[in-house]
């Protein structure tokens, strides 16, 4: 399955969350920003961040050494379509994000966003400014317990870069190319797809090829 197909399936799966007694017919969405965007996505989080009554979508992108590998925020237009948000810190920082969760941490009535990063990088916390924008929280242990702030600015193309520095992100491209087995040993890249618990690993949690 292509990465682009994964996003289009998210809309389909969301329809299954209605009442158990409802008769639901699912139709795959093939058009629009949400269905045609591509990346190396790990997870997503639904939340109505602008309180317009429509559930919006945040998607974690995990290949931080590629220029296009920023996380995604899609605004629900209320008519069955989504618009990708391209401005603001929340969608223009590059790291190796794996999960995200919406929550109103300061009790101001607006959903804020917490994003967890891999590779020893700091996690991110974004405060909802109540006007459709977010500000990054930079103080406190919750966003400063990693070895570094984020991945350094990358090249101007979508090709990967290999670093020889001693930073937490050094050799990211090399580690991506060599999945880690369940014993923590590097294994040669393979082809094919094994869904479920398989996929390339940074921490030895998974082994085998990732579905694409």
Q: What is the pTM of this model?
A: 0.63
For 166, residues 6+ apart whose C-beta sits below 8 A from its C-beta are none
The whole-number pLDDT of residue 182 equals 37
pLDDT (tens digit, 9 = 90+) per residue, 176-189?
443 433 333 333 33
Q: How far apart are the first and last CA of the chain?
A: 5
The whole-number pLDDT of residue 100 equals 96
Q: CA-to-CA distance for 172 and 6, rounded, in angstroms?
A: 24
**Tokens 């391209």 appear where?**
86
The whole-number pLDDT of residue 145 equals 86
**Tokens 């300061």 appear where?**
106
Q: Which residues of the chain have pLDDT under 50?
A: 1-5, 8-9, 11-13, 15-16, 152-212
| SS3 state at 176 | helix
- Residue 129 phi/psi, 5-degree rounding, is -85, 5
């Amino acid at each position: 399955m292509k990465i682009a197909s994964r996003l289009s399936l998210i809309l389909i799966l969301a329809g299954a969350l209605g009442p158990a007694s409802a008769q639901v017919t699912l139709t795959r969405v093939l058009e629009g920003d949400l269905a045609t965007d591509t990346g190396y996505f790990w997870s997503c989080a639904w939340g109505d961040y602008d309180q317009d009554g429509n559930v919006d979508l945040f998607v974690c992108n995990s290949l931080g050494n590629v220029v296009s590998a920023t996380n995604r925020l899609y605004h629900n237009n209320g008519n069955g379509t989504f618009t990708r948000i391209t401005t603001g810190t929340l969608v223009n920082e590059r790291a190796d994000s794996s999960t995200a969760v919406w929550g109103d941490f300061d009790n101001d009535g607006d959903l804020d966003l917490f994003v967890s990063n891999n590779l020893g990088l700091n996690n991110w916390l974004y405060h909802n400014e109540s006007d459709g924008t977010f500000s990054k929280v930079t103080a406190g242990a919750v966003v400063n317990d990693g070895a570094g702030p984020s991945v350094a600015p990358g090249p101007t193309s979508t090709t990967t870069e290999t670093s020889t520095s001693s930073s937490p992100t050094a050799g990211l491209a090399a580690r991506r190319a060599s999945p880690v087995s369940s014993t923590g040993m590097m294994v040669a890249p393979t082809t094919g797809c094994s869904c479920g618990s398989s996929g390339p690993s940074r921490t030895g949690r998974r082994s085998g090829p990732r579905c694409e």
